[in-house]
A and B are shown apart, each in its own frame.
Chain A
Amino acid sequence: MDTHLTPAVVSELRRIVGERGLITAANQLQTYECDGLTAFRVPPAAVLLPETTEQVQKILRVCHRERIPFVARGSGTGLSGGALPTEGSVVLSLSRMNRILNIDIPNQQITVQPGVINSNVTAAVAPPGYFYAPDPSSQTVCSIGGNVAENAGGAHCLKYGFTVTHVLEMTVVLPDGEVVALGSKLPDAPGYDLAGVYIGSEGTLGIATEMTLRIMRKPETVQVILAAFDTISAAAQSVSDVIASGQLPAAMEIMDRLSIEAAELSVHPNYPACEALLLIELDGPQAEVDIQMGVVIDICKKNGAWETRLAVDENARFLVWKGRKAAFAAAGRLSPNYIVQDGVIPRTALPVVLEKLNAMAAAESLRVTNVFHAGDGNLHPIVLYDRNNPGEEDRAIDLSLRILDVCVEAGGSITGEHGVGREKQCSMSYMFADPDLETMQRVRRAFDPLNLSNPEKLFPTPRLCGERSRGAYAPHPVEASGIAEVF
């Protein structure tokens, strides 16, 4: 894409955000060349640090006039390359827009700027007994703006739903600089549900600069059980049995041996050493949780759990969750480099898919460790590799993408909460047919006809996905017509 970031435009942008709000020095730009997916890096043309909706609006007007692509960035913790700059783009880092604007406890709402850190939302409403439900594992560092872009989930979305369930209203600057309110603080905004389609659009439909979130009453009691199993299948069967018993736990997570070891090395949660650790959290009224926990323990024991350990007090629970949420970062203890995947499968397909996955890893001589949101079938296979071994990074990326193909074949999805971004855009055409993708583009063009907002993400493009399109093999016309053969 042509870049139009002339010196005159740079000075115009400087006038909007001030000297402190503009980064153009190459060594400083390097900070912004990738997000949590470090295998992909592109330095931006400039980084802007706006502090108000008006500044974002002015920047986008300039971008629109000059046809400059732009990429919004929160904390840069995304795992799919959603905040990866496009060549010649400016990055709008929203980390300085980090104020909590209003807390309305009687209506159970809080209004925040996009740079507010996820766990700070809960911290702000905890004193009167409330919490913000979406809890991605990176919640102590990731921003609400990024959560909105990716429709972030987390361990507790099994019961409480995703970001989209908890965002009532947003102020959004459209790619042409118009400022609009999407959604409503009142239920059911009139007209099309633009908020519903905006959330999870990965920064391709504009930039949200303010959001009103739904907060929830903290449950009366919370209990977490750790159950140790000899096989992943036994743990997975327990998950199915809990669901079949009609209960909806707040969270159900499985960790395999490698990830348990990694967690032990990094944050010492003191997990039982086993092949499969099942972690189930129940919440609600004390008497009810006590009864349900009895049922859950019986189910685990029936499926061969040789240890069931209850974490009832807050400290014990904190440690259990700290270990689980550190699992991605802890992979660094096992291997110099790793890729976290995010496929989803129907829960019942878990044993079959895991078997396939292990065989694929063995064939590549790569190690894959697994932590997953077992309740909703969201796998997080972590492919371990060493960038210094020639060719190993390519093989690791390839394996991680083939794992997604297996998820699609099992009737699932290529991403449950991390988003498509740059990483998985070529896998989109394996999950969706062309008419499906073309229909999404109709929405995209309505918001962003010039394709300036985080371009070259989410959708497969011929340039990035190449003629060797992933998925079904498409014969070359020469081959199809019988003129040539492929050997």
Chain B
Amino acid sequence: MISPVIPTQRAAEDLALVVGGESVSQNTDGAIAVLPRDTQQISAILRYATKNGLTVDPQGGGTKQRWGSGAVPHIRLCLSRLNRVLDHPWQDLTCTVQAGCTWASLQQSLAKHGQFVALDPLFTDRATVGGILAANDSGSLRQRYGSLRDLVIGMTLVLPDGTIAKTGGRVVKNVAGYDLSKLMTGSMGTLAVITEANFRLHALPQHARTFTVTAPDAIRLAPLLARIRGSHLIVQSLQLRRNKTEANLDICISSHPAAQQDALLEEMARGEGLASQEIREGFCFERESLLAGSSTFLRVSTLPTNVCAFADELQRAAPKVDVVSISQGIGLHDVSLRGSSDEIADAIRQIRAKGSTTVTVLQSDPAVDTTSFTIPAPVMSVMRAIKHNFDPGGILGPGKFFANA
């Protein structure tokens, strides 16, 4: 951790001159909380921080602040005041929104014209656009609409030296220059502070019916999962839930009822000796419970063909730990582990040892070894060079991402 060249009390006073005294406060963890009103103020704050060697961690709703286990920064930059939807030219199917806007309020606003950003991240009531982008969160809609990198079309950024830069634009199709929006997505706030984002939008689905198929273990659902992936079904969500006692395959179909794809699905399930059952509500796609309490939370990637086998392996790798997993059909697994630190650490080691997976520990008990992921040295050196070129003083997102690499 870099040491500041000025005392924090002095820094708080200086920052008050930028944003006003009522917008600066001292957090219990020792960080100075600053609430800027606009991009220009953020630019002034970052310029000040770089000049004085103060570390900064941007914060939206704070729902994923522990991800990447960063250190306590000198300045916690709270974006909650940048909370407006700036533009929604609905006929162009795009929108511009400030980074501190919560996901739910953005979606509410877009829904007035029957549109949405086709993503279902965690904690939509509190999580903000900027935080979701920084953490690259995604849920079950990913099956049909892709991830954030496929939905974000432009950004306004503030670099640690105060530079305000725009990337991309407000049109969906645009290859002018490097696509820095993609670089920022998932960068955990370590390169620049996102202050605005432009998204491409989709029409809200007109038809959606959800079915579930239950089995005692996931491997029995694997043939059905493979058949659905190779079928003509218009699948919006395709998700496997696995806990100690059973496995559920949830399928949300969004084709027109006239296509009778529900009957097709039923037939496929029957063909595999299984029964599909319609469920009324979309509750099965909620992932928040995985992060409740003091669980250790992992995100694991596998090939699509390994989804079911991996979900079963998880249970076998940690017989004494309470393991719950929600896996997307594309091969992305959200895993919650509850139990003793030793047993969890042992389980993570076993999961890593399997190979052919990428394991990222996003949130954990401090006692658990969270060496988060390994990146080959030549790739890492490019990433380090990018980090250095954006943030030579190393002030943004202290301890995050690179500490774990």
**Residues of A participating in the B interface, judged by any CB pair closer than 8 Å:** 105-108, 129, 150-151, 153, 157, 161-162, 164-165, 174, 178-182, 184-194, 196-197, 199-201, 217, 219-220, 240, 243-244, 246-248, 284-288, 290-292, 344-348, 373, 376-378, 411-420, 424, 428, 431-433, 435-440, 442-447, 449, 458
Contacts and interface: CB of A to CB of B under 8 A. Distances in A.
Contacts of A449: 385
B305 interface: yes
A376 B175 contact: no
A287 B233 CA distance: 12
Contacts of A436: 165-167, 177
A188 B164 CA distance: 28
B260 to A, nearest CB: 7
Contacts of B191: 192
B91 A186 contact: no
Interface stretch (B13-21, B341-349, B371-379): B371-379
A348 B89 contact: yes
Interface of B: 89, 91-94, 114, 136, 146-147, 149-150, 157, 159, 163-167, 169-180, 182-183, 185-187, 191, 202-204, 206, 226, 229-232, 234, 255-256, 258-261, 299, 301-305, 328, 330-332, 357-358, 360, 372-373, 375-376, 378-383, 385-386, 388-390, 401, 405
Contacts of A433: 165-166
Contact of B182 (A179, A191, A193): A193
B183 A248 contact: no
A206 B92 CA distance: 35
Contacts, number: 250
Contacts of A161: 146, 150
B259 A288 contact: yes
A165 B200 CA distance: 14
14 contacts: A189-B358, A196-B185, A201-B178, A246-B114, A246-B204, A286-B259, A288-B234, A290-B258, A291-B258, A413-B173, A414-B176, A417-B175, A435-B165, A446-B386
A153 B173 contact: yes
A208 to B, nearest CB: 14
Contacts of A174: 378, 382
B358 A184 contact: yes
Given A190-B360, A286-B259, A287-B260, 16 more contacts: A106-B305, A107-B304, A164-B149, A165-B146, A187-B301, A187-B330, A187-B332, A192-B386, A193-B186, A194-B183, A194-B379, A287-B259, A288-B256, A288-B259, A291-B256, A446-B389
Contact of B171 (A162, A184, A217, A376): A376
Contact of A200 (B178, B186, B187, B258): B178
Contact of B301 (A188, A243, A412): A188
A191 B401 contact: yes
A179 B231 CA distance: 37
B301 A416 contact: no
Contacts of B94: 346
Of listed A180, A344, A420, A439, residue having the most chain B CB within 10 A: A439
B376 A180 contact: yes
A210 to B, nearest CB: 15
B265 to A, nearest CB: 12
Contacts of A447: 382, 385
A458 B203 CA distance: 34
Contact of A344 (B171, B182, B183): B171
Contacts of B328: 187
A157 B174 CA distance: 12
Nearest to A105: B230
Nearest to B356: A186
A184 B164 contact: no
B176 A428 contact: yes
Contact of B304 (A108, A378, A437): A108
Contacts of A411: 169-171
Contact of A345 (B171, B234, B305, B401): B171
Contacts of A438: 163, 165
A200 B146 contact: no
Q: Which 10 A-B pairs have the closest CB atoms?
A: A196-B182, A446-B385, A186-B301, A285-B259, A246-B203, A442-B389, A439-B165, A416-B173, A413-B174, A288-B256
A409 B187 CA distance: 31
Contacts of A442: 386, 389-390
A326 B260 CA distance: 38
A415 B178 CA distance: 12
Given A246-B203, A439-B167, A443-B386, A376 B258 contact: no
B177 A437 contact: yes
A178 B150 CA distance: 28
Given A188-B136, A445-B389, A196 B183 contact: yes
A377 B94 CA distance: 12
A443 B180 contact: yes
B303 A107 contact: yes
A415 B383 CA distance: 28
A285 B166 contact: no
Contact of B173 (A105, A187, A201, A344): A344
B321 to A, nearest CB: 23
B283 to A, nearest CB: 24
Contacts of A376: 171-173
A437 to B, nearest CB: 7
Contacts of B147: 187-188
Contact of A186 (B174, B302, B378): B302
Contacts of A247: 203
A197 B176 contact: no
A185 B386 contact: no
A194 B171 CA distance: 22
Contact of B175 (A151, A184, A196): A151
A463 to B, nearest CB: 19
A236 B126 CA distance: 40
Contacts of A417: 173, 175
Contacts of A181: 376, 379
Nearest to A442: B389
Contact of A285 (B169, B261, B389): B261
Contacts of B301: 184, 186-188
Q: Which of A377, A412, A413 has the most CB of B within 10 A?
A: A413
B166 A344 contact: no
A347 B167 contact: no
Contacts of A108: 229, 304
Contacts of A186: 301-303, 331, 357-358
Contacts of B173: 153, 157, 162, 344, 373, 376-378, 413, 416-417
A415 B174 CA distance: 6
B178 A443 contact: yes
Nearest to A424: B176
Contact of B232 (A201, A285, A412): A285
Contacts of A107: 303-305
